[in-house]
Amino acid sequence: MSLPSLARITAPPDPILGLTELFGSDPRPGKVNLSSGVFVDATGKTPVLDVVVEAERRLAAEAGTKLYRPIDGEPAFRKLVRGLVLGDDHEAVTSGRALATQTPGGTGGLRVAADLLRQTGSGTTLWMSEPTWPNHPQLFHAAGFRIRPYPYTDATGRRIDEAAMFAALDHASPGDVVLLHGACHNPTGVDPSPAQWRRIGDLVEERRLLPLVDLAYQGFGDGLREDAAGLLELVRPGAELLVSTSYSKTFSLYAERVGAMLVVARSAADAGAVQTHVKAAVRTNYSNPPAHGADVVRTILADAELRARWEVELAAMRTRIKDNRAALVEALEARSIPGDWTGIATQRGMFALLGLTTHQVARLRDAHAVYVVGHGRINVAGFTPANLDPFADALAAVIAD
């Protein structure tokens, strides 16, 4: 296919970032953007964390360099994020069978994992929840995977349909990859219970599946360790898995593209061998990762005082998201909007799924300048005192149509 022929074919806009572009060009006052997963404060601004400002001040005072980083990233960063995800005292860490690679954000981590598996022939079929983050299918299709969906929530959208989910995964074949959301499921906000995580671990073990865990929001649900508990249920003796993690949200470093991809292998020797293939996949993609964002995260995690300050700011963001959930439920119930909205208050993370039709989503945008994704995925972290009531009014009007 030549470039002239490509010029006659228009690719569809991204389902999330495309909406952000539309929002930016919308001239209407009072427009509301709940499409992109970005945390905002009560004024509608996405702040730079105070601890990030301090880390950058310290980095600026150092005699630095702009040399290339290693293919798999800066060693201290890799060690620190491995401990953040798994815990420094976890058997997989102390035995050396877990290794981390720095990646350009969580999306970069997912793509490195996908390329690793496809280039080594380690998996051709990938199972993902329905619904899931809109970029998941695009990313894994582009990497050459055959995508199989498994049901996730029941008809209410507020609970996991355990029977349907496990019935579908019972059809997975040995060696298939199963994509799991580590915490704060995007878009539903509904996470497995501890018992359900144990059952997932049992199924993965019995059917010899390879888990790939997308952990983009560690700390936004119930806490750093609490949000890793489900993932850790899968890290059994001798078990293998991959983890993609992001620091865009939890460090408010969206533009810096900071993430990691972790490999947990059967042994330290296996992990070292797999890491050579990870580096080969990276080298043919982006060659080596950017430095600044990872240096900020490393500086914070390596210093006890800065880490404590970060955890305080992280807790404040988590509390704000939970408060927004409660305020949203109150606003919807005050308008007697049909449906049971109470579950939104107990869900985790940035997102909630309202279960709207495509017509209702279009009406929100066209008639009320309210931008949401797909079947009504909203960014709960995007609510402010100024936009919550207008959103609730618009939703009430659209559902009443």
Query: Does residue 167 sit in the same domain as residue 261?
Result: yes
Query: Does residue 272 sit in the same domain as residue 331?
Result: no
Work out the pLDDT band at 2, boundaries 50, 70, 90: low
From 255, 274, 302, the end of a domain falls on: 302
Number of domains in the chain: 2
| Residue found under tokens 């058997």 | 91
Active site residue 66: no
Among 72, 214, 227, 295, which one carries the catalytic annotation? 214
CATH code for position 173: 3.40.640.10
Query: Does residue 341 sit in the same domain as residue 243?
Result: no
Query: Does residue 288 sit in the same domain as residue 382?
Result: no
The sign of the torsion formed by the CA atoms of 16, 243, 211, 379 equals negative
- What's the confidence (pLDDT) of residue 395? 95
- The predicted-structure confidence for 185-235, as pLDDT tens digits, reads as follows 999 999 999 999 999 999 999 999 999 999 999 999 999 999 999 999 999
In a domain? residue 31:
yes
Query: Does residue 178 sit in the same domain as residue 215?
Result: yes
Query: Does residue 211 sit in the same domain as residue 298?
Result: yes
Query: Does residue 240 sit in the same domain as residue 334?
Result: no
Query: Does residue 30 sit in the same domain as residue 106?
Result: no
Query: Does residue 287 sit in the same domain as residue 333?
Result: no
Contacting residues for 240 by C-beta, under 8 A, at least 6 apart? 210, 264, 265, 266
Work out the pLDDT band at 4, boundaries 50, 70, 90: low
Work out the pLDDT band at 277, boundaries 50, 70, 90: very high
Task: Tell me the average pLDDT across 130-155.
Answer: 95
- What token pair was written down for 297? 């995260």
Query: Does residue 253 sit in the same domain as residue 361?
Result: no
In a domain? residue 156:
yes
Instruction: State the chain's mean pLDDT as an integer.
Output: 94
Domain that holds residue 224: 68-302
Residue 7 has pLDDT above 70, yes or no: no
Phi, psi of 93 (to 5 degrees): -80, -50
- What's the confidence (pLDDT) of residue 339? 86
Among 249, 295, 310, 341, which one carries the catalytic annotation? 249
The sign of the torsion formed by the CA atoms of 78, 83, 85, 90 equals positive
Q: Residue 229 burial (CB < 10 Å; 0-12/13-18/19+)?
A: middle
CA distances from 316 to 94, 185, 223, 253, 265 (A): 32, 20, 11, 16, 35
Other beta carbons within 10 angstroms of residue 305's beta carbon come to 10
- The predicted-structure confidence for 232-246, as pLDDT tens digits, reads as follows 999 999 999 999 999
Phi, psi of 287 (to 5 degrees): 75, -55
β-pairing, 241-246 vs 259-264, is antiparallel
From 268, 302, 336, the end of a domain falls on: 302
Residues 298 and 76: beta-carbon distance below 8 Å: yes
Query: Does residue 337 sit in the same domain as residue 279?
Result: no
- The predicted-structure confidence for 327-381, as pLDDT tens digits, reads as follows 999 999 999 999 889 999 999 999 999 989 999 999 999 999 999 988 899 999 9
From 275, 302, 329, the end of a domain falls on: 302
Query: Does residue 76 sit in the same domain as residue 225?
Result: yes
Residue 61 has pLDDT above 60, yes or no: yes
- What's the confidence (pLDDT) of residue 89? 96
Residue 5 has pLDDT above 70, yes or no: no
Give the angle 229-219-149 at the CA atoms, nearest 5°. Answer: 65
Active site residue 214: yes
- What's the confidence (pLDDT) of residue 374? 83
Instruction: Give the gyration radius of the chain's Cα atoms.
Output: 21
Taking the whole predicted model, whether its pTM rises above 0.85 is answered as yes
Active site residue 197: no
Question: Distance between CA atoms of 65 and 268, rounded to whole angstroms?
Answer: 32
